[in-house]
Amino acid sequence: MVHTFDQEVEARLVRYCRIDTQSDETSPISPSTANQLDLLRLLVDELREIGASDVTLTDYGAVLATIPATIERDSPVVAFLAHVDTSPAFNASGVKPIVHRHYDGGDIVLPDDQQQVLSPKHSAYLGSKTGDEIITSSGTTLLGADDKAGAAIIMAMARHLLANPDLPHSPIRVCFTPDEEIGRGVHPDLPGDLGVDVAYTLDGGPLGEVVYETFSGDKAVVHIDGVSIHTGHAKGELVNALYLASKIVMTLPQVTLTPETASDRQGFIHLYHMNGTAAAADLHFILRDFDDELLAAHGKLLRQVCETVQATEPRSAITCDITPQYRNMRNWLERDMRPVDLAREACRRCGIEPFSAPTRGGTDGSRLTEMGVPTPNLFTGMQNIHGPLEWISVQDMSRAVTVCLTLAQLGSEQ
């Protein structure tokens, strides 16, 4: 496919990244933050402008649209999805995207925090992008290519298909979800509202990546009740919840892996938020592993540590609540690898050698696959996500558009 989508995906990504869409796991509403609706409503307007059908913003904050089939025979209905929210892990307000033209292969110093330096010395992948347009933040925020790059790619694909009705393809559904970063991107109604046979998320990394294996994930909240009393009368009476919390935190790294010590197929227990006082404290963890039995073992270990610490101070009350978040999509996709094989073939037809490696994270596709819609994950080019050194190549995004277009055509052949 000879089309280049460089200018379009660049303009879309820059426009989308300027909109603050950070999600908030403490919020009970959906979307969890109102500002996600700013981008969701913009995408509704843009879909209508390019002629998409059935454009809808659901009451749970997902945008859905249809690109009607251009062939008469029955063929699978395919969806392409991306999420609009950005991670709560780092500042996402006031993003100023910067396009570094014709990257020269050297260091990129981010202007608003010159301690933030992208270097090919630390990223062989960046070193392979000489001559590309590289998009970064200004250094004090994340960029938001995770996953606004996916949104830009899907919108470019949708516009091209609608502008070229001679291209053969089956019915295509487009979907943009909120709150993926906090594990709430797939509402229970979404699979039925999508109404598709197979789906693909555009939420992956390097050029050619086709993901069919992700972490399984649980969330754990440990609550500690101590005994509060005036410090002047505390001797023999005070039970400091913060001290007990610190015992739990310091015990765990000695008996299990954490993200900074784990790699490849190793799972971990990760403390990502804590708050409280001497009277009461909360610890928030994520548990991750590729194997569901090992994931359950992480939860069992965390509970055992909590019970051991409580035993040192019977007057305290320590609870550990664990809830499922998502499961490894491989558990279902390996039963029928046709969606993965089609994605690989689409890459090859575009002159890209596909590869698959376990992803140390999850996607909306993890939940969708578990709920009955097989949903592998495709590359966008995003790198260093969830931090100030996030970057992406415009040319990687452009080539992802061509792969999606080819995949749409391949779907019509099945």
The β-bridge partners of 98 are: 136
- C-alpha 304: how far from its chain's center? 31
Q: Residue with structure tokens 């009970």? A: 28
- Angle among Cα 60, 11, 92 to the nearest 5 degrees reads 55
3-state secondary structure string across 318-364: EEEEEEEEECCCHHHHCCCCHHHHHHHHHHHHCCCCCECCCECCCCH
Other Cβ atoms less than 10 A from the Cβ of 372: the count is 10
Distance CA 276, CA 209 (A): 42
Are 294 and 269 contacting, i.e. CB atoms less than 8 angstroms apart?
A: no
- Angle among Cα 211, 214, 219 to the nearest 5 degrees reads 150
Q: Residue with structure tokens 């996500």? A: 385
| DSSP per-residue codes, 27-77 | --SSSSSTTHHHHHHHHHHHHHHTT-EEEEE-TTS-EEEEE--S-SS----
Residue 52: per-residue pLDDT: 98
User: Residue 197: CB partners within 8 Å, gap ≥ 6?
Assistant: 76, 77, 78, 373
Of 91, 248, 270, 64, nearest in space to 173 by CA:
64
Residue 1: per-residue pLDDT: 45
Q: What's phi and psi for 198, nearest 5 deg? A: -150, 155
| DSSP per-residue codes, 140-193 | SS---HHHHHHHHHHHHHHHHHHH-TTS----EEEEEES-GGGT--S-TTHHHH
Q: Of the listed 20, 46, 85, 147, which one is catalytic?
A: 85
The tens place of each residue's pLDDT in the chain, 414 residues long, gives 446 899 999 999 999 999 999 999 999 999 999 999 999 999 999 999 999 999 999 999 999 999 999 998 888 999 999 999 999 999 999 999 999 999 999 999 999 999 999 999 999 999 999 999 999 999 999 999 999 999 999 999 999 999 999 999 999 999 999 999 999 999 999 999 999 999 999 999 999 999 999 999 999 999 999 999 999 999 999 999 999 999 999 999 888 889 999 999 999 999 999 999 999 999 999 999 999 999 999 999 999 999 999 999 999 999 999 999 999 999 999 999 999 999 999 999 999 999 999 999 999 999 999 999 999 999 999 999 999 999 999 999 999 999 999 999 987 676
Are 133 and 102 contacting, i.e. CB atoms less than 8 angstroms apart?
A: yes
User: Residue 329: CB partners within 8 Å, gap ≥ 6?
Assistant: 211, 212, 213, 214, 363, 365, 366, 369, 370, 375, 376, 377
- Angle among Cα 413, 359, 27 to the nearest 5 degrees reads 100
The β-bridge partners of 78 are: 172, 198
Q: What's phi and psi for 154, nearest 5 deg? A: -65, -40
Domains delineated in the chain: 6-214+328-413 (3.40.630.10), 217-325 (3.30.70.360)
Residue 3: per-residue pLDDT: 63
Check if 180 is active-site.
Answer: yes
Of 214, 201, 206, nearest in space to 343 by CA:
201
Taking the CA of residue 71 as centre, how many other CA atoms within 13 Å lie in the half-sphere pointing to its CB? 18
Mode of pairing for the β-strands spanning 280-289 and 268-276: antiparallel
User: Residue 291: CB partners within 8 Å, gap ≥ 6?
Assistant: 216, 267, 328
Are 168 and 412 contacting, i.e. CB atoms less than 8 angstroms apart?
A: yes
Check if 85 is active-site.
Answer: yes
Q: Of the listed 8, 179, 180, 390, which one is catalytic?
A: 180
